[in-house]
Chain A
Amino acid sequence: MISPAAPLPPESALLLRLAAAFAPDARRDEWRREWHAELWWWLSSTPDPSRLALAGHCAGAVLDAVSLRAGEGFNAADFLARPAARLAAPLLLLVLLTGITGGFRHTRRALFGTAPMDLAVLTETGPFMGQRSALPPARVAQWTARSHIVQSVELAGPARAVVHLRRGYTAADAQREWRRWNGFLQITPYAAEIVHPVALLGTAFLALVLLAIADWLRSDASGFSLAQPLGWLMVLFLSALELPFLPVAILLPYLVASFMALQYCRRDRAGRCPVCLERLGQPVPIGVGPRGPFEPAGTEFLCPLGHGVLFTTRETEPESHWTPLVA
């Protein structure tokens, strides 16, 4: 049984938070107030409100907030004034450049193309160690026609090619077969190529852009916080590890560390002024809480530059309310 006085179930609370992020800044408080009242009434008047129905209404709140945001129109100047946008713009540019120059081709193939185990990389070593000569396409086509291990060849560059192996064969089998025709040919498993540093950096950049967009949706700030990019750099560093081939024992700390980095970013932002991003200070216990007469209901923090006051509750689902101070 869901009561109007009790905290909302987690899925509904999450949907409402998501919705609030979409609502335009100028109308967010009013929007929140209206939905709070409507849900309160619905929970009070419905005999046995189900969690599913409540989540359905909260999903409606998301659509409502999105429609409000769409109704406001897109203001490029406002968007660019966001601190996260300043970071997201160069990151997007980097991702674009990486994509154009072929930086994601390994990742893309591994994710959406043939199974990585059926792929191998064909290279030719020159007569002198380390020197590579060009792979002549006509000869490669000839060898492919004679091969019963390599199914097809996709030339990726003048000195290397990606080959598609027939099911059941490995790169070592192909190596043995092709060495008979050219002693300088090398066929290595494609899996080793997936951890190409460019592909890893590209993936990390994509993660950063997504984080920046998520931050932009959450943020009301017009200033810039150093802690946010520091948190992102930590994620970048962790993403740069060769994740797909790490054992589970290392994967778990990786996920925990990433989660902690994100939590650090989130908490850091919550404790800063949304206008200037200075750290809030001078905590003052306010009101009487529900647990006892001497328990404060929450704490009020003041922006050192006088932009406003943040009130946070001590409930299990903490709520924060920012009150701007008018000069």
Chain B
Amino acid sequence: MADTLSYAAASVLNAIQSGRRYGFEIMEATGMPSGTVYPALRKLEKGGLIEAQWEPESVARAERRPARRYYQVTSQGEAALTAAGQRYRFSEVAKR
């Protein structure tokens, strides 16, 4: 998977590594539409480069809002991002 990482997938991975944790935040950071970001997230998750977990329901309920699904880069994803960094030049994404 890491060898065949597309630019879109690598950008999404880079955004998550920079601290963007959920879909719409990643869209803002990369400037890519939802129709590109979400399929890329699914592929990265399936390839084991990122993992997702739901925000605790109690936190969301206390704030009267729906719980979000957060993504984070795995160690395999970090290695893939380093490799992708040699092939692609990512647009600047501020660290969080």
Contact = CB atoms under 8 A, between A and B. Distances in A.
Specify whether A and B are partners. yes
Interface residues of B, number: 18
B38 interface: yes
B42 A64 contact: yes
Nearest to B37: A60
A37 B67 contact: yes
Interface string A43-57: 010000000000011
Contacts of A68: 42
Interface of B: 22-24, 33-39, 42-43, 46, 65-69
A38 B55 CA distance: 13
Interface of A: 30, 33-34, 36-38, 40-42, 44, 56-57, 59-64, 67-68, 71
Contacts, number: 57
Given A56-B34, A67-B43, 15 more contacts: A34-B68, A36-B66, A37-B65, A37-B66, A37-B67, A38-B23, A40-B66, A41-B65, A57-B34, A60-B33, A60-B34, A60-B36, A60-B38, A68-B42, A71-B43
B68 A38 contact: yes
- Say whether chain B's binding surface is mostly helix, strand, loop, or mixed: helix
- Say whether chain A's binding surface is mostly helix, strand, loop, or mixed: helix
A56 B38 contact: no
Contact of A64 (B34, B68, B69): B34
Nearest to A42: B24
Contact of A63 (B35, B67, B68, B69): B35
B57 to A, nearest CB: 11
A64 B39 contact: yes
